[in-house]
Structure 1
Amino acid sequence: MSNALKFYIDGAWVDPIAPKTIDVIDPATEKTFITISAGAAADVDRAVAAAKAAFPAFSQTNKADRLALLTRILELYNERSEDIARAVSDEMGAPMSFAREAQTWAGRVHLESTIAALKEYEFEHQRGTTRVVKEAIGVVALITPWNWPLNQIVCKVAPAIAAGCTMVLKPSEIAPVSGLIFAEIMHDAGTPKGVFNLVNGDGPGVGQVMAGHPDVDMVSFTGSTRAGIIVAKTAAETVKRVAQELGGKSPNIILRDADFETAVIKGVQGCFGNSGQSCDAPTRMLVPREHHDQALAIAKKAAEDHKVGDPKAAETVLGPVVSEIQYEKIQRLISAGIAEGATLVTGGLGRPHGYNRGYYVKPTVFGNVTPQMTIAREEIFGPVLSIISYDTEDQAIEIANDTPYGLGAYVQSKNIDNARRVARQLRAGQVSINYPDWDTYAPFGGYKQSGNGREYADWAIHDFLEVKGIVGHGAA
């Protein structure tokens, strides 16, 4: 990629002010497949200055102009979809089918949802003699993760444009190539100079500088709760808005009247999708105590049906996890599960048979997990499922809510009224009943230490707006 060692600032590809590089590792081979530039404070200053200069004009553009820009971005995104899928597969080890049908698809559908939401969005309304106006918050810093790179880039960039904001994006340095392609799309779509800027780098060198920059009006961050706390503390010095989508430890309550086999199989699939690297993955499966052993048998077979292998092989279901750091963390937590007395149903420590290289993890299921075990408390971010027993629905709800997180939750039942009753008692930003299709118009975000703010469609547009009351304005 010709722009790998450059940043996109003020409508042009530019060299970093001080050369410094980061090797990007292919997790399937553990080898460097590309090298990018690592930014520093001076590069952030340059990008923020460009965004600040572009803001007065872009914030005053009309909805039709911003819709036209988003539509051009969508058209070019679709044209580059295969390039994006290959980049995602290379940088994070996603199987090509998943890279195409989930990772790349996610960016496309969020662009479509934002466009549809913007068409209907009302930026002004009258309340008595006061005119209530929603206007762009200003320059926004967008910090995105490696696990769903296009999903999170588009979930921030698209609504920021819809709102009339200008921005600086820092993709994850672990999976930056898809972000570079996205910047090329933004350039080719004719995005006005300074509206969209990209600076690569790590959290301390770029992300924290963006969060604390006095000319940044808002930070939108997706990542770990640990990193989110650092971002929030840094941003607090300049009293800017911070929207965060952080970690999760999502419960999946299978009620007694559920289609049990289907519920367990789909629960395993949901937990293991993206090699378990999703913040809202249903990692804690709660089952009636009398069905615990049955759940283990079903989950064992479902887990072992997940073919682990080369991301480029057609039969591969699970690729590697993204990095050595992630691999070692997952191994540590699997070891903790064994040491604390959980039943290892399948999987376990080490790489799958036949692999001595690559960050491959055995699809792992634990049974007889108690709510206080480490594997039931900590976010693992790998293909590891914990199965927990409950006696009553009230106890299941209590266990489900007994977590510092609150991003996703899941309920399975043939009785929709009862499922709705349980869903209303779960302390999570999004609750899914009976494994529905992904709804890109539903609000997405967390309670508690899973963050604040909401993404997707009009919910996301709202987060990038300030509300102004013009009192005494008179009738419209």
Structure 2
Amino acid sequence: MQQHLKFYIDGQWVDPAVPRTLDVINPSNEQAIARISMGSAADIDAAVTAARRAFETFSQTTREARLALLEKVLAVYQQRYGDIVQTISQEMGAPLWLSKAAQAAVGVAHLSQTLEVLKAFDFEKVQGTTTLVHEPVGVVGMITPWNWPINQIMCKVAPALAAGCTMVLKPSEVAPLNAILVAEVLHEAGVPPGVFNLVNGDGLAVGEAMSVHPDIDMMTFTGSTRAGIAVAKAAADTVKRVTQELGGKSANIVLDDADLETVVAQGVQACFINSGQSCNAPTRMFVPRALHARAVIAARAAAEAMPVADAMAEGMHMGPVVSELQFNRIQGMIQKGIEEGATLVTGGPGRPEGLAKGYFVRPTVFADVRSDMHIAREEIFGPVLVMLPYDTEDDAVRMANDTAYGLSGYVQSGSLERARRVASRLRTGMVHLNGAGPDFGAPFGGYKKSGNGREWGEHGFKEFLEVKALMGGSAA
């Protein structure tokens, strides 16, 4: 079993202030694969002190110097790509094909996109006789989740480096090993001591210590809405900037002019990718009532064609969910759907046939779901699709918006104009039209309880900048 008992602070691997450990569990076989140390407020103090000291010089570096640094980070990341793929599959259960094609690949995408943003960004703008100057926000506290770990680390770390910020990262203690690899990449690339610091730990001991710390200027958090609210409350007394990317219960509206069987099958696959553990997953499928029976048949076929296997197995399949806690919660939600009277189309409680060990969930589809059911309102974060029939386009939009969340949305139509019209009525930060995939240059974030602020591309980069007005700083 691997031992990762040190934290990366001020350019060195150092012992924790207080010894306390946690085992990292492989969700495919429930075996411990590594042991990490769990940090405390004292470790955060040390990391913040290093970051504050490093900010004095790193914030003054030139655009050219930061471009060169990011290019080196990208090169070293690509050299370690195979290690990152293997690590993500082992610690959080993404199948190897998904780790290679997406989980690790998004690190390259965010670094590449950030390089393009930094090359073109106008740090100074003249407005009359005033010069507007964009400057780094300061020391940034980062809390990231386990479901797309490299994605959430790199879409924060890359723009923070580009902006001239320094940072302290607390990755999820459930899947922390990829973050240790990131620290090794940054160290090898020559990121100056104190610019990036890594402290493992839980939200109560480490996350709260970061949120309340007076020398952290900004908190950027990705995770559950419940934890995001706790971070914002803890940060309020120091009036630091807080950006949050939180939960979702995204609607997938299938209009009556769409190619029904095709878009339903695609919707099932999109819901189940990463074992349903994506905040922007299209987990609520709205279908015209007159087409509901046909849609159910297509959804059943797509779900039952989804193989489930060990994350380290070759081929395209669905892996386990991340932990026993997550497995049990999903099982409880599936049972709740049955008890509330939804039609269980396929899947259901328990593990898939032939898998007695590991946190494997049966790909599950519910039909005849009402908007007041728990499975239609709560984020399940597993491979569970709920299908809701609707009568009119207005009904579909109303039902889609009847949620506390507003992260993403999906609209399927034979007419792009019609899809755009429906999308304009959805109260979400993003909408995917007719199967469109992610755009790493577009802003990622949501409305309502799905958070505030944006990540990715130029909009994400700007979150790490302050704006200073120099009155009289330019000629009239």
Superposition TM-score, scaled by structure 1 size: 0.99
Distance 2:303 2:212 in 1: 44
Letter in structure 1 aligned against 2:446: G
- The answer (yes or no) to whether the contact 2:2–2:33 under 8 Å persists in 1 is no
Partner of 1:473: 473
Distance 2:458 2:471 in 1: 26
Partner of 2:132: 132
Distance 1:133 1:204 in 2: 37
Q: CA deviation at 1:19?
A: 1.0
SS of the equivalent of 2:293 reads: helix
SS of the equivalent of 2:4 reads: coil
Q: Structure 1: any 5+ residue segments left out of the alignment?
A: none
SS of the equivalent of 1:197 reads: strand
Q: CA deviation at 1:122?
A: 0.8
Partner of 1:352: 352
- The answer (yes or no) to whether the contact 2:3–2:35 under 8 Å persists in 1 is no
SS of the equivalent of 1:369 reads: coil
> What are the Cα deviations for residues 383-427 of structure 1, in whole angstroms up to 9, with x where unaligned?
000000011101100000000000000000111111111111100
> What are the Cα deviations for residues 125-159 of structure 1, in whole angstroms up to 9, with x where unaligned?
11011110110010000100000000000000001
Partner of 1:302: 302
Percent of counterpart pairs with the same letter? 59
Partner of 1:218: 218
Distance 2:142 2:3 in 1: 20
Instruction: Count residues in correspondence.
Output: 476
Partner of 2:378: 378
> What are the Cα deviations for residues 98-136 of structure 1, in whole angstroms up to 9, with x where unaligned?
111110011111111111111111111110111101100
Matching of residue 395 in structure 1 with residue 362 in structure 2: no
Partner of 2:86: 86
> What are the Cα deviations for residues 234-253 of structure 1, in whole angstroms up to 9, with x where unaligned?
00011100000000000000
Letter in structure 2 aligned against 1:221: F
Matching of residue 424 in structure 1 with residue 418 in structure 2: no
Matching of residue 47 in structure 1 with residue 47 in structure 2: yes
- The answer (yes or no) to whether the contact 1:406–1:427 under 8 Å persists in 2 is yes
Distance 2:315 2:335 in 1: 29
Distance 2:369 2:8 in 1: 48
Q: CA deviation at 1:475?
A: 2.5
> What are the Cα deviations for residues 188-229 of structure 1, in whole angstroms up to 9, with x where unaligned?
000011100000011111111101100000000000000001
Partner of 2:103: 103
Q: CA deviation at 1:346?
A: 0.2
Q: CA deviation at 1:275?
A: 0.2
Distance 1:271 1:475 in 2: 56
- The answer (yes or no) to whether the contact 2:271–2:383 under 8 Å persists in 1 is yes
Letter in structure 2 aligned against 1:40: S
- The answer (yes or no) to whether the contact 1:309–1:316 under 8 Å persists in 2 is no
> What are the Cα deviations for residues 42-100 of structure 1, in whole angstroms up to 9, with x where unaligned?
00000000000000111111111111111101001111011001000011011111111
SS of the equivalent of 1:310 reads: coil
Partner of 1:245: 245
Distance 2:68 2:223 in 1: 31
- The answer (yes or no) to whether the contact 1:441–1:457 under 8 Å persists in 2 is yes
> What are the Cα deviations for residues 353-385 of structure 1, in whole angstroms up to 9, with x where unaligned?
112211000000000001111000000000000
Distance 1:457 1:184 in 2: 25
Distance 2:457 2:2 in 1: 33
- Map 1:73-472; keep pairs closer than 5 Å: 73-472=73-472
Q: CA deviation at 1:315?
A: 3.2
Q: CA deviation at 1:316?
A: 4.9
Distance 2:450 2:475 in 1: 42
Matching of residue 14 in structure 1 with residue 18 in structure 2: no
Higher mean displacement: 358-367 or 466-475: 466-475
Partner of 2:4: 4
| Two-structure CA RMSD over aligned residues (Å) | 1.0
Letter in structure 2 aligned against 1:263: V
- The answer (yes or no) to whether the contact 1:310–1:316 under 8 Å persists in 2 is no
Distance 1:369 1:8 in 2: 48
SS of the equivalent of 1:430 reads: coil
Distance 1:229 1:166 in 2: 24
Q: CA deviation at 1:437?
A: 2.6
Go from structure 1 to structure 2 and tell me whether the alpha carbon gap of 1:355 and 1:2 turns closer, same or farther (over 3 Å shift). closer
Distance 1:298 1:10 in 2: 55
SS of the equivalent of 1:256 reads: coil
Distance 1:156 1:40 in 2: 22
Distance 1:23 1:398 in 2: 45
Letter in structure 1 aligned against 2:105: W
Q: CA deviation at 1:321?
A: 0.2
Distance 2:363 2:104 in 1: 24
- The answer (yes or no) to whether the contact 1:3–1:180 under 8 Å persists in 2 is no
> What are the Cα deviations for residues 12-32 of structure 1, in whole angstroms up to 9, with x where unaligned?
111111111011111111111
Q: CA deviation at 1:474?
A: 2.5
